[in-house]
Amino acid sequence: MALPLVVGIDGSEASLEAVDWAVDEAVRHDVPLHLVHAAAPNDEALGLIAVASERARKGIPAVPLSSEVLHEDAASTLAWLGT
């Protein structure tokens, strides 16, 4: 299986637009999509992932989609996931 396209989300409109872009890229390159929110543990984080996942599902119901909330620094997490 191909490595997933990883998208960091923070709940902002810009990050949701990044999800839209990533959906198109995942379809174009036939790769899974992985949504990540890195922040302090709280219920809001799960809600952000749910909203972004729902938005992604509308665009790519057939592409594998995964998501996770990591309780780490956002920049460090995305850099680590990109290696």
Q: What is the pLDDT of residues 19-47, one digit of tens each?
A: 999 999 999 999 999 999 987 767 788 88
| CA gap 77, 55 in Å, rounded | 22
What class is the 5-81 domain?
alpha beta
Domain map (residue ranges) of the chain: 5-81
With cut-offs at 50, 70 and 90, classify the pLDDT of residue 83: low
Provide φ and ψ at 50, rounded to 5°.
-60, -45
- The alpha carbon of residue 23 and the mean position of all alpha carbons in its chain are separated, in whole angstroms, by 10
Cβ neighbours, 10 Å, residue 4: 19
pLDDT on residue 17:
95
| CA gap 32, 66 in Å, rounded | 8
What is the mean pLDDT of the segment spanning 53-75? 85
- The alpha carbon of residue 28 and the mean position of all alpha carbons in its chain are separated, in whole angstroms, by 17
